[in-house]
Amino acid sequence: MLLGLAPLALAALASSPCLAAPAGGAGGAPAPLQSLRAPPSASAASAATAGSAPAAASGGNAQAVIRASKLGQAAEQNLDEWRFAEARTQIDELATKIPDSSEVAYLEGYARFLEGNYPGAVAELQKAVKASPADPTAREILALALAAGDAVKDHEEAHSTHFLVRYPAEDAVLVPYALEALESAYTALAEDLGFAAEMPIRIEFYRSPSDLAAVSSLSAAEVARTGTIALCKWARLMVTTPRALSFGYPWLDSINHELVHYAVSSLTRDRAPVWLQEGIAKFMERRWREPINGRLAPSMEHLLAKALRSGNLIGFEAMHPSMAKLPSAEDASLAFAEVATAIGYLHARGGMPALRATLASVLAGGDARVAVATAAGGGWPEFERGWKSYMVGLKLRTYPGFDLPTTHIRKAAALASRRKPSEDDALAVFKVTGPLRYLRLGNMMLKRNRLRAAVTEYEKGARVVATSTRAERGRDTNAAQWLFPVKLGRTYLALGDPDRALQSLASLQSAYPELPWPNLIAGQALLAKGDPAGAVAALRLSLATNPFDPAVHCTLADADSRLPAAARPAPEIIQREQRFCRELSDTP
pLDDT given at position 41: 30
What is the rounded distance in angstroms from the CA atom of residue 473 to the CA atom of residue 468? Answer: 7
The single-letter DSSP state of residue 324 is: G
Q: Check whether residue 111 and residue 21 sit in a common domain.
A: no
Q: Check whether residue 461 and residue 573 sit in a common domain.
A: yes
**What is the secondary structure of 200-257 as a DSSP string?**
PEEEEEESSHHHHHHTSSS-HHHHHHHT--EEEETTEEEEE-GGGBTT---HHHHHHH
Residue 409 lies inside a defined structural domain of this protein? no
- Single residue among 393, 423, 439 that ends a domain in this structure: 393
Q: Check whether residue 11 and residue 109 sit in a common domain.
A: no
Q: In what order do the strands lie in the sheet with 230-233?
A: 156-159, 163-167, 201-206, 236-240, 230-233
Q: Check whether residue 24 and residue 75 sit in a common domain.
A: no
Q: Check whether residue 168 and residue 114 sit in a common domain.
A: no
Least-confidence region, from 57-66, 125-134, 141-150, 188-197: 57-66
What is the rounded distance in angstroms from the CA atom of residue 455 to the CA atom of residue 488? Answer: 6
What is the rounded distance in angstroms from the CA atom of residue 543 to the CA atom of residue 520? Answer: 8
> Which residue would you say has higher pLDDT here, 448 or 464?
448
> CB-based contacts of 571: which residues, under 8 Å, 6+ apart?
none
Residue 427 confidence class, pLDDT cut points 50, 70, 90: low
Residue 317 confidence class, pLDDT cut points 50, 70, 90: confident
Q: Check whether residue 339 and residue 278 sit in a common domain.
A: yes
Q: Check whether residue 120 and residue 159 sit in a common domain.
A: no
Residue 562 confidence class, pLDDT cut points 50, 70, 90: very high
How much is the average pLDDT of 283-307? 90
Residue 52 lies inside a defined structural domain of this protein? no
pLDDT given at position 414: 74
pLDDT in tens, 111-124: 999 999 999 999 99
How much is the average pLDDT of 10-30? 31
Residue 256 lies inside a defined structural domain of this protein? yes
> CB-based contacts of 333: which residues, under 8 Å, 6+ apart?
26, 27, 299, 300, 303, 404
Instruction: Tell me what percent of the residues of the chain surpass a pLDDT of 70.
Output: 83
Q: What is the CATH number of the domain that holds 186?
A: 1.10.390.10
Q: Check whether residue 350 and residue 221 sit in a common domain.
A: yes
- Single residue among 134, 167, 189 that ends a domain in this structure: 134
Least-confidence region, from 289-303, 535-549, 553-567: 289-303
Q: What is the CATH number of the domain that holds 563?
A: 1.25.40.10
Residue 40 confidence class, pLDDT cut points 50, 70, 90: very low
Instruction: Tell me what percent of the residues of the chain surpass a pLDDT of 90.
Output: 61
Q: Check whether residue 121 and residue 161 sit in a common domain.
A: no
Residue 48 lies inside a defined structural domain of this protein? no
pLDDT in tens, 144-155: 999 999 999 999
pLDDT given at position 99: 92
Residue 231 lies inside a defined structural domain of this protein? yes
Q: Check whether residue 295 and residue 378 sit in a common domain.
A: yes
Residue 416 lies inside a defined structural domain of this protein? no
pLDDT given at position 315: 76
Contacts 24+ apart (CB under 8 A), 209-213: 209/240, 209/244, 209/409, 211/151, 211/240, 212/238, 212/239, 212/240
The single-letter DSSP state of residue 378 is: S
For 87, the domain range is 70-134
What is the rounded distance in angstroms from the CA atom of residue 349 to the CA atom of residue 97? Answer: 52
pLDDT given at position 426: 57
Residue 15, classified by CB atoms within 10 Å of its CB into exposed (0-12), middle (13-18) or buried (19+), is exposed
Residue 142 lies inside a defined structural domain of this protein? no
Q: Check whether residue 223 and residue 363 sit in a common domain.
A: yes
How many domains are contained in the chain? 3
Report whether pLDDT(523) > 70: yes
pLDDT given at position 428: 64
Give the orientation angle of helix 70-80 with respect to helix 84-97, to 10 degrees.
160
> CB-based contacts of 163: which residues, under 8 Å, 6+ apart?
179, 182, 183, 186, 200, 201, 202, 203
Q: Check whether residue 476 and residue 557 sit in a common domain.
A: yes
How much is the average pLDDT of 522-544? 98
Task: Show the CA angle centred on residue 92, arms to residues 89 and 96, nearest 5°.
Answer: 140
pLDDT given at position 588: 61
- Single residue among 101, 134, 167 that ends a domain in this structure: 134
Residue 86 lies inside a defined structural domain of this protein? yes
Report whether pLDDT(87) > 60: yes
